[in-house]
Structure 1
Amino acid sequence: MADAIYNPPSKAPTAERTRQPKNRPADLPQGQQKIRRRNRTIASCLSCRQRKLKCDKQVPCGNCQRFQRDCLYIAPALDTAAQQKLAEIKDRLGDLEETLERDVARRAAATSGSDRSSVIPKIEAEDDDYEGLSADDDQDPEPSPLGMFDQVYDNDADDGLMDLGIQLGKLRMSDRVGGLVRPKMSDELNAKLRSANHKSQNLYCQRHGYSDPTVPWQPGALSQDDFLSPGPDFIVPSSNLFFPDPITTYFLPPRHVADRLITQYLNAVHPVARLIHQPSFERQYTTFWGNIGNGTITPAPIQAILFAAMFSAAVSLPDDSAASFSEMPKHSLVDRLREMTEFMLSRANLLRTTKIDTMQAFIIYMLPLCRTEISRAHSALVGTAIRLAQCMGLHRDGTTFGLNAVDTHVRRLIWYQICFLDVRTCEATGPRPQIRKEEYDTKLPLNVNDTDLMLASSPTDDLPYWTDMTLSKLKFECYELIRQLWVDMQRMDQKKLSLTSVLNRIKRFRATTEAKYSPLVQGNTPKQILAKQMYRASSNRALVVILQRYAVGTNYPMPERLRNLLIEACMGTVEAGVAMETRPELATWSWYRGAILQYHAAVLLVFEVYARPDMPEAARIWSSLDYIFETPSQSSMTDKAEGIIITLRDRLEKYHSVRKLRATADVESQSSPGPSTSSQLNTPVTAPHITRSAQTFTTPTMVYSQLPHGEQGPASDASGSHTGVNRDSSADPGMEAVANMDWNEWDKYFAPNAELGTIGAMGDFSLGNFNPHQAYFSLPRADGHQR
């Protein structure tokens, strides 16, 4: 090597170097100094470095001369800017190491000591998923103990009763309300009644029937238990999936009927429950009929896919349309196709399959089953699907194994539909989602058309316009948020996460999603309208999932801003659901509304309009409640709300008397006898069983300390008469927690408003008109500016 090319630097000092903190604050403890990685240039020749010999940095060096080796040096190839960037990366790595060391030390301190229950975990302040959180925000509203994750039953419960709950109008309610078990829901409803007349005098109760809840339930007595019976959306799976009946008759619809069903599947099912690559599916369907013509047997997994698709199509048909082309009523067509699908799945060896086609057929079969009415049989089948999918490696992305674009796309569709079913059955039957985000690396399907995947160079990134996949991908992203919220709720209960942090997560998700999908849904095609309504329902439901735990049954009035946020979310949820069922352009997909959302949020709205009948939004709320609960138009708003609450209470009492659901000691103490209140959405469940006349309870003056921005609790008159309930703050952790909530941190994400009593100040959501530069949650301040 020429000496002119490289001159070795002078020998580096041999003194031991110590890590020194960079820009260490004066008040930082010495034991928590910031660590900086050393950035020393290595100038030894390659031979000395490999042999770990001391190099004199000469050209050639002494060692290479002595042993007659080639002396080679690596010339510095980094310019000044690159060297500075490398130093910054090493500094950042040092910061991460320091953060990890602190976290390990903090966790070790939290788990040390003889009494671990006395250690209160600190709310995570250094979480990559959250920005700008305050480490001091360790006080949050305490969720109501009336809502639980798990349920326990008495041994004398009647398992002969279908575990679907009760039906009222279009509402189906079981042990779980909004995904949480509420064993004292009938008492909560009863606590809302302030001056109920006898139910025989209420027109709504007369129309929906009423019975004495103390009369024992008699199976088969339709006059008593019609509201306990399964509805038209309930489809029960049979044992043919695992134990096929050898005398099952092979049922193949005529070609014209099958063609009509496949067309119905592609139009009504495929857009909202996407599980196939359409060109491949159409090729399989053509081959199937060709094999029948020449006497060749089509493999069982392919037949299972085709029969599952026809079964799903039959479920999506309007009630009166099946007979027009199949010469049999809808329920008969559905039953025959369900039996054939189960028979073919068993022939395909479902429980030991390794074929993607078999798993694809199984999930196509499951999607129409898991809609409005879900039993534990459905939940058990979803659990089976999860385990089978994991055994087949569907939780690993197809690109990891070098699969082609179509196979990778189909695997992603199957996995994320399983994830959707996991969340859906969890909300209906509990207890928690089985799939955890950290346990899979399967990517979301690309936003592409099915035909794009067949190109020689298929897309590797999302396309920036509306495609066949846009609607389904938007649904998958929304349900992944809801899945994460279930984890967040457990971390909140463990005091590891603050309520403000979770609401901030939802806010950021909405802002990011709206900015991403707004350009894609600017049109007014039926599918784009459906995407907007589905997103509105799912994004608002995320808020309801979190805030409903603080709304009913807590011993402290919900802060006004939280209450407004919850009521606006409930309104958005039910309005989107009603739109998906009633708008003519969305009629093709109305059959699937129950899979997207339930109308449980409508119960909270009933409480609100009953407690505040003169609220400005009452007419808007009742436009949805009238449709959901099928109320008589001639009744007043108060009578309708009262009738709904009475009917729900009586039916839930009947259902709970049979199911024998046990409550925890905390719940029993919360539902002890006492006066009722209706001045707030979140009133305590402390009412007598039935209150038939107006009563005013005299209580000591209630003290509401440190409510933010001048918010006040329920007012009492000079005599001390009050419609609320007095509570001892020392005995109620929720009261102290709300009073000490970090409202300065809250204001970073949800700005205060001078007109907090007006829910409409938040504005109606319009995804098509979304401005990505204006946060969806931003509320106008008193001075008219946006925060």
Structure 2
Amino acid sequence: MATFPPGASGPDSMSPDSDQPGTSRRLIACVACQKRKVKCSRVFPCANCIRSSSQCIPGTPAPPRGRKPYNQALKARLARCEQLLSGQASAAAAKASPNAVTTPKSSQSQSPADPSPVSKWTPEGKLVEDSNGKLAFMDNYLLGLVNEELRAMDELINLDENERSSPLDSRPSDPNTDLLLGDDASNSSVLDAWPGAALVFKLWQIFLDRVNPFTKVIHVHSFQPHVVEATNGTQGLPENIMALLLSIFLMAVVAMSEEECLNTLKKTKEVAVASFSSGIRQIMRQLNFMRTNDLVILQSLCLYLYSLQDRYDRHSSWVFSGTVIRIAQKMGLHRDGDVLGLKPFESEMRRRVWWQLVSLDAKFALFSGFGHSLLPRDWDAREPSNLNDADIFPAATQPTPDRDGPSEMILCLVRHKITKFLVDTPGLEPVKMMSELNESSGAPPVAGGTREQQMSYYLTHFELLEQSLQHILDNRCNPHAGQVHVMAQGLISALLVQKRHLIKSISDGPRPDAVFQSGEDNAFMWAVSMLEHTAFLYASSEDTGFLWFADFNFQYDVQ
């Protein structure tokens, strides 16, 4: 028989009808029903306790939580925003005052004798959480704080919307995205471009052997499970992973010969490239890639940029490359992950992607007829480390020190040194410089400093580049480590010969006994040297599967 606590004379004594007028209390399920997680009749003893002949103890409400009322919390957030913005306005007014004299840090630290136009100032920055819960980078620290306050207010009033909750094929595309990626008129879908299980592994292996050594924007060990999952089709795959896989498949086809593509995919290389490219464009539109803060999507765009060579107008490719660079800057990849407080693995992968994008942008700029003076400036992302993928892993809490010897990064290390040289010498145009520095006509390549100072500046950077390449050749390159290192050895040797020829041309200038008297003659010799470099790339790539990279570098500086 059910029992109930002393002081309760019977079932009716605790019924709602027995409450006195003016006193209204919320009845809580009894302790036994709460423990068993069953519905309680809330009449004590309750029906469940009567049925089980157990003691019925009324539940007690939990103590009130010590939190601010809703309106008070919202007002506090608004006051905080007003305080931040008013402080910024006061600072701006003080700066505009005629009595306020300030000296920028960059002008204090940069010597007038240094002809380098590269700014030494490093802007502040802050990672903030966007409306999708992803981290976004804001260059203005104050606006980052305001953004955090506004974000907190959004959570208070439940206005946070998930913009990516609808299925992939049902979301409307962003018109800004269509401006760059077009709007495929065909009725084909991403599923039409997806390869079968056997082809997924085949294309993945081709990518690893022929493309990955030049890019290294993917961590193979952590991405491998997604490749296995992709053999079952697109079902269950995250959309960003689908985009990256399609870019991998596309670059594998780019690295194939025409005959190999016919034998493997049973279609021409042109058709296969068009199919995967269409799939990438569709999924990028659906992902609204122009607004992304997702590193995986940026990795996909980086690989997609490689595939544009010889398929699109080189000027359009350069513009699109600039767009991807801006997306990367919006994500804060130009700032080093250690500065932003990121984990070592994420910091390293961000460095790899950023340096690849800057290298690609330099390439497309040269193809489009522009120099590297338009490369992005004012960034502090360090060069990627000399590490294999097996040396780093997502759960790491401490950075891994560089390897002393060879690694998988050898070809990327060479490209990054060239990229760093281009970034550090924004006024350098090899052909233009030889005619302007060796002759007395024309404006100096870099404003500020005498012609002798500028020549000394460039020669110093050439020597630093030569030392860096020689260090890689002596300490990081081992021809016995495989075809990648064999090609790196030949590539470095060819680059060193070219740079030494250019340094000699600049240092000596036209001499009475020289065969070539003018800067234009030296420019012609430089162009011939670059064609010889291209011929070497073709010769060394023909039997290694790297011929696509030689095509990508054709006419490097002479277009």
Give the TM-score normalised by the residue count of structure 1. Answer: 0.42
User: How far apart are the structure 1 equivalents of 2:313 and 2:229?
Assistant: 35
User: How far apart are the structure 2 equivalents of 1:346 and 1:426?
Assistant: 25
Q: Is the 8 A contact 2:178 2:285 kept in 1?
A: no
5 Å matches for 1:370-519?
Answer: 370=309, 375-433=314-372, 438-454=377-393, 456=396, 459-488=399-428, 492-494=445-447, 496=449, 497-519=453-475
Q: Is the 8 A contact 1:478 1:535 kept in 2?
A: no
Q: Which residue of 2 aligns with 1:266?
A: 208
Once the two structures are superposed, residues 687-742 of structure 1 have per-residue CA deviations (whole angstroms, 9 ceiling, x without a partner) of xxxxxxxxxxxxxxxxxxxxxxxxxxxxxxxxxxxxxxxxxxxxxxxxxxxxxxxx
Q: Which is helix-richer, 1 or 2?
A: 2
2:266 to 327, 342, 352: 327
Does 1:577 find its partner at 2:519? no
1:254 to 171, 196, 199: 196
Give the drift of 1:569. 6.2
Q: Which residue of 1 aligns with 2:70?
A: none
Give the drift of 1:290. 4.9
Q: Which residue of 2 aligns with 1:720?
A: none
| 3-state secondary structure, aligned to 1:269 | helix
Give the TM-score normalised by the residue count of structure 2. Answer: 0.58
5 Å matches for 1:63-212?
Answer: 124=113
Does 1:301 find its partner at 2:243? no
* 1:495–1:530 CA distance, 2 compared to 1 (3 A): same
User: How far apart are the structure 1 equivalents of 2:456 and 2:310?
Assistant: 32
Letter in 2 for 1:478: I
User: How far apart are the structure 1 equivalents of 2:386 and 2:314?
Assistant: 33
Give the drift of 1:314. 0.4
Once the two structures are superposed, residues 560-618 of structure 1 have per-residue CA deviations (whole angstroms, 9 ceiling, x without a partner) of 799999788666644442232123675311111133352666x9xxxxxxxxxxxxxxx
Letter in 1 for 2:231: W
Q: Is the 8 A contact 1:370 1:421 kept in 2?
A: no
Give the drift of 1:515. 2.7
User: How far apart are the structure 1 equivalents of 2:266 and 2:473?
Assistant: 43
Letter in 2 for 1:503: L
Once the two structures are superposed, residues 373-416 of structure 1 have per-residue CA deviations (whole angstroms, 9 ceiling, x without a partner) of 75211011011111111111111111223322322222111111
User: How far apart are the structure 1 equivalents of 2:515 and 2:550?
Assistant: 31
User: How far apart are the structure 2 equivalents of 1:288 and 1:416?
Assistant: 28
User: How far apart are the structure 2 equivalents of 1:578 and 1:426?
Assistant: 22
Q: Which residue of 2 aligns with 1:749?
A: none
Give the drift of 1:485. 3.1
1:521 to 453, 467, 477: 477
User: How far apart are the structure 2 equivalents of 1:399 and 1:532?
Assistant: 32
* 1:599–1:300 CA distance, 2 compared to 1 (3 A): closer
5 Å matches for 1:6-21?
Answer: none
Letter in 2 for 1:480: K
Q: Which residue of 2 aligns with 1:635?
A: none
Q: Is the 8 A contact 2:243 2:280 kept in 1?
A: yes
User: How far apart are the structure 1 equivalents of 2:110 and 2:380?
Assistant: 26
| 3-state secondary structure, aligned to 1:521 | coil
Q: Which residue of 2 aligns with 1:58?
A: none
5 Å matches for 1:216-365?
Answer: 241=181, 243=183, 245=185, 247-250=187-190, 251=192, 252-290=194-232, 292=234, 295-296=235-236, 298-365=237-304
Q: Is the 8 A contact 1:369 1:378 kept in 2?
A: yes
| Residue ranges of structure 2 left out of the alignment (5+ in a row) | 1-106, 119-176, 430-442
User: How far apart are the structure 2 equivalents of 1:101 and 1:328?
Assistant: 62
| 3-state secondary structure, aligned to 1:583 | helix
Q: Is the 8 A contact 1:240 1:342 kept in 2?
A: no
User: How far apart are the structure 1 equivalents of 2:352 and 2:206?
Assistant: 20
Q: Which residue of 2 aligns with 1:532?
A: 489
* 1:552–1:103 CA distance, 2 compared to 1 (3 A): closer
Letter in 1 for 2:408: D
Deviates more, 1:473-482 or 1:386-395: 473-482
| 3-state secondary structure, aligned to 1:460 | coil
* 1:551–1:589 CA distance, 2 compared to 1 (3 A): farther
* 1:541–1:248 CA distance, 2 compared to 1 (3 A): farther
User: How far apart are the structure 2 equivalents of 1:323 and 1:310?
Assistant: 15
| 3-state secondary structure, aligned to 1:378 | helix
Does 1:594 find its partner at 2:547? no
Letter in 2 for 1:502: Y
Once the two structures are superposed, residues 189-211 of structure 1 have per-residue CA deviations (whole angstroms, 9 ceiling, x without a partner) of xxxxxxxxxxxxxxxxxxxxxxx
Give the drift of 1:543. 6.7
User: How far apart are the structure 1 equivalents of 2:332 and 2:312?
Assistant: 30
Q: Which structure has more RCO (C-alpha within 8 Å, separation ≥ 6)?
A: 1
User: How far apart are the structure 1 equivalents of 2:506 and 2:182?
Assistant: 39
Q: Is the 8 A contact 1:577 1:593 kept in 2?
A: yes
Give the drift of 1:477. 1.1
Q: Is the 8 A contact 2:210 2:255 kept in 1?
A: yes
Letter in 2 for 1:263: Q
* 1:561–1:521 CA distance, 2 compared to 1 (3 A): farther
| 3-state secondary structure, aligned to 1:494 | coil
* 1:332–1:540 CA distance, 2 compared to 1 (3 A): same
| 3-state secondary structure, aligned to 2:231 | helix
* 1:572–1:556 CA distance, 2 compared to 1 (3 A): closer
Q: Is the 8 A contact 2:534 2:550 kept in 1?
A: yes
User: How far apart are the structure 1 equivalents of 2:271 and 2:322?
Assistant: 28
* 1:516–1:581 CA distance, 2 compared to 1 (3 A): closer
* 1:340–1:461 CA distance, 2 compared to 1 (3 A): same
User: How far apart are the structure 2 equivalents of 1:584 and 1:391?
Assistant: 36
* 1:484–1:410 CA distance, 2 compared to 1 (3 A): same
Q: Is the 8 A contact 1:322 1:328 kept in 2?
A: yes
Give the drift of 1:431. 3.1
Give the drift of 1:323. 1.3
User: How far apart are the structure 2 equivalents of 1:126 and 1:546?
Assistant: 18
Give the drift of 1:480. 1.9
Give aligned-pair identity as a percent.
18
> Size of the alignment, in residue pairs?
375
User: How far apart are the structure 2 equivalents of 1:513 and 1:277?
Assistant: 25
User: How far apart are the structure 1 equivalents of 2:266 and 2:202?
Assistant: 13
CA RMSD of aligned residues (A): 4.1
* 1:330–1:239 CA distance, 2 compared to 1 (3 A): farther
Letter in 2 for 1:492: P
Q: Is the 8 A contact 1:374 1:425 kept in 2?
A: no
Q: Is the 8 A contact 1:543 1:569 kept in 2?
A: no
* 1:558–1:402 CA distance, 2 compared to 1 (3 A): farther
